[in-house]
A and B are shown apart, each in its own frame.
Chain A
Amino acid sequence: MNFHLKVWRQKDANSPGRLEDYEARNIPPDASFLEMLDIVNEDLISKGIEPIVFDHDCREGICGMCSLTINGIPHGPSTGTTCQLYMRKFEDGSTIYIEPFRAGPFPVIRDLSVNRSALDRIIQAGGFISERTGSAPDANSIPIPKTIADEAMDAAACIGCGACAAACPNSSAMLFVAAKVSHLNLLPQGKPEKDRRVLSMVEQMDKEGFGGCSNFYQCEAVCPAHIPASFIAKMNRDYLVASIKRTVGVMP
């Protein structure tokens, strides 16, 4: 297959970027999107042009390192991550636009690579259970209904790629935050810090410059881990309860 590529190139965070034209030739339909870029990069290197920088690692759809906005959509026209997108999904001879994830809190580092450390700082604000190594009771001492465990797992499946924020017209990271808040708040082990967690994570999200949710649901549509937007509603409830508790002064 052959494709005409328009690829965002940007030297560093402070330089302006622009779309460059490249040809991708003789691409096997079974190649992944990133393998297509590998082939293009080999060609660029042979011509003495610096290869396109893009983030990736596991290439299995689980580490969340790959990004890319493909034809305007974070992770492109697949239901998973960019690394799990295969070229057979594209029409032979078509033009493909490749840009970085676009969101204010994700500044471009170089070409297609962006800085997503804002997401780490949100987790640092409270996305954990304060348990010290060695202090845990026997794992079966607190039975957890299967439905609860399954729901927590649905939320915990988030791979932290940031596509939700990149897809959202408000650059909101609500789906990311809601997934972590729900995962931990659903479990009995996470209950003691439930209120504190939701308040500080949401506060940090605001501080990082992510916008609020106005129910566009673009996040859910692009999420490669299929995190349902219903978790956002759940988080809003948790947030409301915690805010009231804080206002009336009964926060644990």
Chain B
Amino acid sequence: MTLDSKIPAGPLEKKWTTFKNNAKIISPANKRKFEIIVVGSGLAGASAAATLSELGFRVKCFCYQDSPRRAHSIAAQGGINAAKNYQNDGDSVYRLFYDTIKGGDFRAREANVYRLAEVSASIIDQCVAQGVPFAREYGGLLANRSFGGAQVSRTFYARGQTGQQLLLGAYQALCKQISTGGVQMFPRTEMLDLVVVDGHAKGIVVRDLVSGKISAHAADAVLLCTGGYGNVFYLSTNAKGCNVTATYRAYKRGAFFANPCFTQIHPTCIPVSGDYQSKLTLMSESLRNDGRVWVPKRKEDCSKHPSQIPEEDRDYYLERKYPSYGNLAPRDISSRAAKEVCDEGRGVGPGGLGVYLDFSDAIKRLGRKVIEERYGNLFEMYENITGENAYEVPMRIYPAVHYTMGGLWVDYCLMSNLPGLHVLGEANFSDHGANRLGASALMQGLADGYFIIPYTIGEYLTTQFGKKVDPNHPAFQEAVQSIEKFTNRLLSVNGSRSVDSFHRELGLLMWNNCGMARNRKGLEEAIEKIQKLRDEFWKNVRVLGQGDCMNQSLEKAGRVADFLEFAELMCRDALMREESCGGHFRTEYQTPDGEALRNDEEFSFVACWKFEGVNKDPTLIKEPLNYEFIKPTTRSYK
């Protein structure tokens, strides 16, 4: 089977314009006839739901939180990229495109990434018009900062709360449409299945998290905007509710899962402090603009107070190894470098799993006030969590799971191989290849929702005139019944272990065997252990209470059941990819100085997995990546 990515022909910089010029338009009278389901109210979901409703489509939007404003996008701190070149420092659409595709270690589609860079400028215009209070200079114009993997300053930000402000902008646009009746909002509602009728995605099955009622919704198209699956590792910077359920169950209904092993480990998080810990906290990458990363040169110095270690005994390893990018080296590289020095025994803090991020030079250079203005809330957060004052002692940081580049496969129109199913934001695989650059996820979520799907959804909908499905179609009943059965099964195991204990065990296994460094032996071992753990889960999990009311253990149990299957798919993907690229580092494939060794001859493809049954091997389908316009090079930040 071959996959058609539907990339328009012609020169790179003309593709999107060509597409738009020829896009199929639906008349206003007909738009009203189409109903669209949007699952998720993060940047991708809220912006898509609001914009599609403005256009005249009837929209239903779902989220599991009690309000759409609480989607996990709210937690993004650092900023959003856009090729505005307001700093006059040589930025351009092409440069943003090139940085992104190189940052992704040449494992993303050229056409998608170029389009992303192209629409990036409109996002900033849109957000400012909505009232997003971006940081400004004294002259009243917008301010920028730098982020990893770029040598220009193209990141827009709103203090340390950029995601919050962008999401509130999209949420408010959504509220405006809810007030007109154009969007019907379903908070505290979890999607548990996709309904496929004659090969087309035509609805979803949901559980009302308050009443426990399981029901189906039919529509002409379904958009999944359900975020990433980082919580497969249990400990991550994601919100506790982030899950793979929506995308994984779509996968089980026939949608292909692409590059599941491409996960991002963020270099600047607060280190783990104990096994009671429920999540990890990110310290924005923007801190690396002014903070310097170091560890002691000698193991013996690790237990000393940092102020007792003189300059010449410190190893500023990022500046040493990557002189041109220094502390702003991309995430995958910085994370691995931290792991390396800690593996050498030069880590600091409890368990030796930490490195210093030191602001003393910046404070000397700029004064404490400037640093406070730039990062005040982050320093506060750090102090609150660790009890340490980072103006006086360097922060301690360590890498943590943060973002997932993999996701459901989509074509240029953001439609999956299942007609009618569209996937936006972190939930799809499309733009970041094997590693995402900082401040690019917010850009992608909003690009997908505000500026891409409104143009591309017509390609599918125009084939659906007069093809409304009947919500009484047996496929809906079958899906509802299968979810009821699944729920009852979870409630009736009545074993002795809590859901969290399984999740923790799975997470630790994935962190050790499918985390920052992977190899054949570890992955094979993980697959075996995951299967055993899954068996045990279904024999021994304890989910108390009933299904017909609010039951948080039941919600978690469903999500963990999916993680226990999905984790195996991730390991299989990592095992298949016998190369190192971006966030995927196979210890067998590295250069003599420890850098990732990519293999373009054999692995320049998107790995798409087709579900064949639980406990059966999935089928691999490859979408070759043809680089027409740029030449993949060895990624160097030296």
Contact of B70 with A80 in the complex, beta carbons under 8 Å: no
Contact of B381 with A136 in the complex, beta carbons under 8 Å: no
Does residue A143 face the partner (Cβ distance < 8 Å to B)? yes
CB distance from A108 to the nearest CB of B (A): 11
Bound Cα distance A92, B142 (Å): 49
CB distance from A228 to the nearest CB of B (A): 16
Residue numbers in A under 8 Å from B47 (CB-CB): 133
Does residue A206 face the partner (Cβ distance < 8 Å to B)? no
Cβ-Cβ contact count across A and B, 8 Å cutoff: 218
Does residue B130 face the partner (Cβ distance < 8 Å to A)? yes
Does residue A39 face the partner (Cβ distance < 8 Å to B)? yes
Of A50, A51, A63, A125, which contacts B65 at CB under 8 A?
A63
Of B67, B75, B134, B542, which contacts A58 at CB under 8 A?
B75
Looking at chain B, what size class is its interface with the partner chain? Answer: 35 or more
Does residue A157 face the partner (Cβ distance < 8 Å to B)? yes
Residues of A within 8 A of B (CB): 11-12, 27-28, 30-32, 34-35, 38-39, 42, 45-46, 48-51, 53, 55-65, 78, 80, 84, 86, 88, 109-110, 113, 115-117, 119-120, 123-125, 127-140, 142-146, 149-150, 152-153, 156-157, 159-160, 183-184, 187, 189-190
CB distance from B339 to the nearest CB of A (A): 23
With A50-B545, A128-B176, A131-B130 known as contacts, the answer to whether A145 contacts B140 (CB < 8 A) is yes
Contact of A62 with B161 in the complex, beta carbons under 8 Å: yes
Contact of A113 with B130 in the complex, beta carbons under 8 Å: no
Interface 1/0 per residue, B119-131 and A, CB below 8 Å:
0001011111111
Contact of B273 with A30 in the complex, beta carbons under 8 Å: yes
Bound Cα distance A63, B67 (Å): 10
With A38-B500, A59-B239, A120-B175 known as contacts, the answer to whether A146 contacts B140 (CB < 8 A) is yes
Contact of A59 with B279 in the complex, beta carbons under 8 Å: yes
Residue numbers in B under 8 Å from A88 (CB-CB): 387
Contact of A63 with B239 in the complex, beta carbons under 8 Å: yes
Which are the 3 A-B pairs with shortest beta-carbon distances? A143-B140, A136-B129, A128-B172
CB distance from A65 to the nearest CB of B (A): 5
Residue numbers in A under 8 Å from B129 (CB-CB): 129, 131, 135-137, 139, 189
Give residues of chain B (128-157) contacting chain A, Cβ–Cβ below 8 Å: 128-131, 133-142
Does residue B374 face the partner (Cβ distance < 8 Å to A)? no
With A51-B544, A84-B384, A190-B131 known as contacts, the answer to whether A133 contacts B239 (CB < 8 A) is no
Of B164, B185, B496, B549, which contacts A110 at CB under 8 A?
B549
Bound Cα distance A200, B165 (Å): 23
Contact of B281 with A31 in the complex, beta carbons under 8 Å: no
Of A42, A53, A140, which contacts B500 at CB under 8 A?
A42
Bound Cα distance A57, B67 (Å): 12
Bound Cα distance A61, B65 (Å): 15
Contact of B164 with A62 in the complex, beta carbons under 8 Å: yes
Residue numbers in A under 8 Å from B136 (CB-CB): 143-146, 149-150
Residue numbers in B under 8 Å from A35 (CB-CB): 276-278
Contact of B126 with A133 in the complex, beta carbons under 8 Å: yes
Does residue B51 face the partner (Cβ distance < 8 Å to A)? yes
Contact of B544 with A45 in the complex, beta carbons under 8 Å: yes
Contact of B122 with A57 in the complex, beta carbons under 8 Å: no
Contact of B276 with A136 in the complex, beta carbons under 8 Å: no
Bound Cα distance A34, B239 (Å): 13
Bound Cα distance A56, B126 (Å): 31
Residue numbers in A under 8 Å from B185 (CB-CB): 120
Contact of B172 with A123 in the complex, beta carbons under 8 Å: yes
Q: List 20 A-B contacts (CB under 8 A).
A: A34-B278, A53-B552, A57-B65, A58-B72, A58-B240, A59-B240, A59-B279, A60-B279, A116-B66, A124-B179, A127-B172, A129-B130, A131-B129, A133-B54, A133-B126, A139-B128, A140-B84, A140-B142, A157-B159, A160-B70
Does residue B454 face the partner (Cβ distance < 8 Å to A)? yes
Contact of A48 with B544 in the complex, beta carbons under 8 Å: yes
Give residues of chain B (159-173) contacting chain A, Cβ–Cβ below 8 Å: 159, 161, 164-165, 168, 171-173
CB distance from B560 to the nearest CB of A (A): 14
Contact of A138 with B125 in the complex, beta carbons under 8 Å: yes
Bound Cα distance A222, B69 (Å): 21
Residues of B within 8 A of A (CB): 47, 50-51, 54, 65-70, 72, 74-75, 84, 86, 122, 124-131, 133-142, 158-159, 161, 164-165, 168, 171-173, 175-176, 178-179, 185, 187, 210, 239-241, 273-274, 276-279, 281-282, 381, 384-385, 387, 450-451, 454, 496, 498, 500-501, 542, 544-545, 549-550, 552-553
CB distance from A98 to the nearest CB of B (A): 16
Residue numbers in A under 8 Å from B384 (CB-CB): 78, 80, 84, 86
CB distance from B56 to the nearest CB of A (A): 12
With A63-B74, A127-B172 known as contacts, the answer to whether A38 contacts B276 (CB < 8 A) is yes
Residue numbers in B under 8 Å from A124 (CB-CB): 175-176, 178-179
With A45-B544, A65-B65, A183-B131 known as contacts, the answer to whether A156 contacts B72 (CB < 8 A) is no
Contact of A60 with B142 in the complex, beta carbons under 8 Å: no
Of A119, A132, A137, A156, which contacts B168 at CB under 8 A?
A156
- Which chain A residue shows the least CB distance to B501? A42
With A58-B75, A60-B281, A117-B67 known as contacts, the answer to whether A140 contacts B86 (CB < 8 A) is yes
Contact of B70 with A65 in the complex, beta carbons under 8 Å: yes
Contact of B161 with A58 in the complex, beta carbons under 8 Å: no
With A116-B67, A131-B130, A143-B140 known as contacts, the answer to whether A123 contacts B175 (CB < 8 A) is yes
Contact of B175 with A128 in the complex, beta carbons under 8 Å: yes
Residue numbers in B under 8 Å from A11 (CB-CB): 549
Of B86, B159, B173, B239, which contacts A153 at CB under 8 A?
B159
Contact of A156 with B165 in the complex, beta carbons under 8 Å: yes
Contact of A146 with B239 in the complex, beta carbons under 8 Å: no
Contact of B210 with A28 in the complex, beta carbons under 8 Å: no
Residue numbers in A under 8 Å from B544 (CB-CB): 45, 48-51
Contact of B131 with A30 in the complex, beta carbons under 8 Å: no
Contact of B274 with A57 in the complex, beta carbons under 8 Å: no
Contact of A64 with B131 in the complex, beta carbons under 8 Å: no
- Which chain B residue shows the least CB distance to A42? B498
- Which chain A residue shows the least CB distance to B550? A110
Of A27, A51, A117, which contacts B187 at CB under 8 A?
A117
CB distance from B140 to the nearest CB of A (A): 3
Contact of A130 with B176 in the complex, beta carbons under 8 Å: yes
Residue numbers in A under 8 Å from B387 (CB-CB): 30, 86, 88
Bound Cα distance A63, B47 (Å): 18
Contact of A39 with B133 in the complex, beta carbons under 8 Å: no
